[in-house]
A = this chain, B = another copy of it.
Amino acid sequence: MSRQPSLATMDAETLAPLCKLDKHNELSLQDQIRRAVIGAINSGILPAGTRLPSSRKLADTLGVSRNTTLIAYQKLIADGHLESRERSGLFVAQAGHPVGDLGMQVIAPRRSKTAASAIQRIDPAAQRGRSFSFPPDWQSFRYPFLEGCYDRSLFPVVEWREASRLALAAQEVATWSIGSGEADDPYLVDEIRSKLLPRRGIAARPDEILITAGEQQALHLAMAVLASSGTVVGMEEPGLPEMRTLIDQRGSQRVSLPVDDEGLIVDENLSGCDVVHVSPSRQRPTAVTLSRARREDLLARAERDDFVIIEDDFECELNYLVDPLPALKGMDETDRVVYVASLSKVLEPGVGLGFMVAPPEFIAAARQLRSIASGRPSPNNQRAAAFFLSLGHYDAMLRRLSTVFEERLIALRDALNHYRPLSIAVAPVRGGTTLWIRADSDLSTRQLLRQAQSRGVLIEPVEDYYTSGTAPTNVFRLGVTSLPAKRIRDGIAALSDAMLATTGAEAEQEQRLQILSEAEVQDRIGGLTLYYRTVYGEPCTIQLNADGTMHGRAGSAGEDVDQGHWWTEDGKWFRHWERWAFGETLSFHVAIQDHQIFWLDDDHIIRDTAVIIEPSDEKTDSQPDAS
């Protein structure tokens, strides 16, 4: 926003009420004026360079004699608060108090208080929140692997502008600006039900849809409708910390439901629940997808044990382009599922719209609660969003985001696979924008956070996603919504350095390894078949032939193959894949111990390891397509 010139003028009408003149006050009127002006300077309301009203004007407005304002001004000048410039007037002085570029950055000294009653009465429950929050200056870090922040390239500026401008036409303003109680924009509701929901397998009537100020409000309202003290609410573990807070705010009983690689584990833990919060399409925060079998189990169990499901369709927008499993709500035949979603994760930070799908009576109750909590989400944005959808911009945005995020996620996986300084495991994902990383158990994420940050890398710790005190210390999360694909590799290289700096375990282990000489390498390596798992858990076999060629096959169906060369030189082993490892040449020292091969860098730090498969125990089942 272009700021007005700092040489603003404070008019007498604005200044006068601040003076709060009181003839019965023990201070003289001129001192009351002085106190008010100094207070306004200190609190930044009068930034340096602001021109003040003339003493005559102020006197007239305040209804005091001109002498009173004149004396007040003279004292303020003498004390250095104001300065008089010939022929141009009276201004707030530059020196004597810290003024930033923006007046708003000035912090006034705290007023002295006899009691701070409003503070004393703050409900302690109101202060609980996430322990980790994104640094407000995350954009100044080169590698912000933070899900939920968005780099500038993602927002559909031109398309949103077009939709907004259409919504600003006079006849449009006339419909959204007049106040219609709590009704949502019928056009937005219609676009959602006719374009967005069918692709998630959901058929809904208009009175089954409520627009919300983002997905979080939808969760909040759903919980307000469903949960009170005595209600038992199940939530995923790890799970959304805001859901934990919501359950506690409602005074409900919280049950933690474990998650594995197929998502929420559907078992007896759910039986005592009245309400279960689940994020099937992309588990929050691990990003795994609830399998179809689990979905059917969950719905059957909800029916049998009579509980309600809050389905949190996180990244709904990304779920509906590529091979999605239908939403639970689409499989729901007994109105047990309350569906909540963001209209768009990418639009949300700037525009903030989400929605809820539930039976009409439920929507009516949620609408009533919404009227007390905040009123309907900005009608001007609802209309702009309706245009955004009806013009096809939404679909176009999703196609673009789908491509961008896929490219970034692949870049992240490739880089992790390449640089992993330690063995790490990544929870399996079907797309999305995050990876859930489990490192060696001796890694301390807290220490890694500091090491990474000093290298310009931001990663997300995961304590907040677990019940207090139960979080693993060696897990963290990486997201790709806030940096471009081309920067990801360097970011993971820096993260890899940070990981090495965090744990010294390898340095010790390396002491016991015997580095092979160049001749020993030539002798022992030719003809070996190596087996390892990629960081994202897929098997990979590498065949090192005696003629210096090598072949690799990766993926659970062995679908990703590559070939390359290896050789020795200057006492080290060199390798070069055609595509893998970014098609670059890398060199290592090599050590072999029992059935394991180790690659070490010049500092003799282990950079990678694999299992040697002797021809006799080669496992064909890990290479289903190799025959």
**B43/A213 in contact, CB under 8 A:** no
* A322 nearest CB across to chain B (Å): 11
A198 at the interface (CB under 8 A from B): yes
**B372/A245 in contact, CB under 8 A:** yes
Using known A-B contacts A228-B125, A326-B17, determine if residue A176 contacts B359 with beta carbons closer than 8 Å.
Answer: no
* Size band of the interface chain A makes with B: 35 or more
A569-587 interface code vs B (CB 8 A; 1 in, 0 out): 0000000000000000000
Q: Which of B1, B18, B128, B337 contacts A386 (CB 8 A)?
A: B1
**B126/A224 in contact, CB under 8 A:** yes
Q: Which of B4, B161, B366, B375 contacts A352 (CB 8 A)?
A: B375
Tell me, in angstroms, the Cα distance from A22 to B440 when the chains sit together. 43
Tell me, in angstroms, the Cα distance from A17 to B364 when the chains sit together. 28
Q: Name the B residues within 8 Å of A177 (CB-CB).
A: 150, 152, 155, 157, 347, 349-351
Q: Which of B139, B187, B359 contacts A178 (CB 8 A)?
A: B139
Smallest CB gap from A246: residue in B? B372
**B216/A375 in contact, CB under 8 A:** yes
**A179/B349 in contact, CB under 8 A:** yes
**A104/B359 in contact, CB under 8 A:** no
A206 at the interface (CB under 8 A from B): yes
Q: Name the B residues within 8 Å of A486 (CB-CB).
A: none
**A205/B379 in contact, CB under 8 A:** no
Tell me, in angstroms, the Cα distance from A350 to B378 when the chains sit together. 6
Tell me, in angstroms, the Cα distance from A203 to B373 when the chains sit together. 27
A424 at the interface (CB under 8 A from B): no
**B214/A359 in contact, CB under 8 A:** no
**B104/A387 in contact, CB under 8 A:** no
**B242/A334 in contact, CB under 8 A:** no
**A372/B205 in contact, CB under 8 A:** no
Q: Name the B residues within 8 Å of A335 (CB-CB).
A: 111, 113, 115-119
A277 at the interface (CB under 8 A from B): no
**B204/A123 in contact, CB under 8 A:** no
**Which of A79-87, A91-99, A165-173, A552-560 faces chain B?**
A165-173
Tell me, in angstroms, the Cα distance from A306 to B368 when the chains sit together. 33
**B220/A372 in contact, CB under 8 A:** yes
Q: Name the B residues within 8 Å of A181 (CB-CB).
A: 133-134, 136
A107 at the interface (CB under 8 A from B): yes
A142-169 interface code vs B (CB 8 A; 1 in, 0 out): 0000001111100101001100111110
Task: List CB contacts (< 8 Å) of A102-124 with chain B.
Answer: 102-108, 111, 113-119, 121-123
Q: Which of B149, B224, B306, B326 contacts A117 (CB 8 A)?
A: B306
Tell me, in angstroms, the Cα distance from A308 to B115 when the chains sit together. 11
A59 at the interface (CB under 8 A from B): no
**A201/B18 in contact, CB under 8 A:** yes
**B201/A20 in contact, CB under 8 A:** yes
**Which of A189-197, A401-409, A497-505 faces chain B?**
A189-197
A514 at the interface (CB under 8 A from B): no
**A336/B117 in contact, CB under 8 A:** yes
Tell me, in angstroms, the Cα distance from A174 to B302 when the chains sit together. 44
**B216/A45 in contact, CB under 8 A:** no
Tell me, in angstroms, the Cα distance from A1 to B436 when the chains sit together. 43
Smallest CB gap from A346: residue in B? B177
**B17/A198 in contact, CB under 8 A:** yes
A311-333 interface code vs B (CB 8 A; 1 in, 0 out): 00000000010001010001101
* A110 nearest CB across to chain B (Å): 9
A307 at the interface (CB under 8 A from B): yes
Smallest CB gap from A219: residue in B? B372
* A310 nearest CB across to chain B (Å): 9
Q: What are 10 contact pairs spanning A and B, CB under 8 A?
A: A103-B194, A111-B335, A115-B303, A116-B335, A122-B361, A126-B369, A217-B375, A348-B375, A374-B374, A381-B381
The 9 residue pairs across chains A and B that have the minimum distance between CB atoms: A179-B349, A177-B350, A104-B190, A155-B177, A217-B374, A126-B365, A213-B374, A17-B201, A129-B368
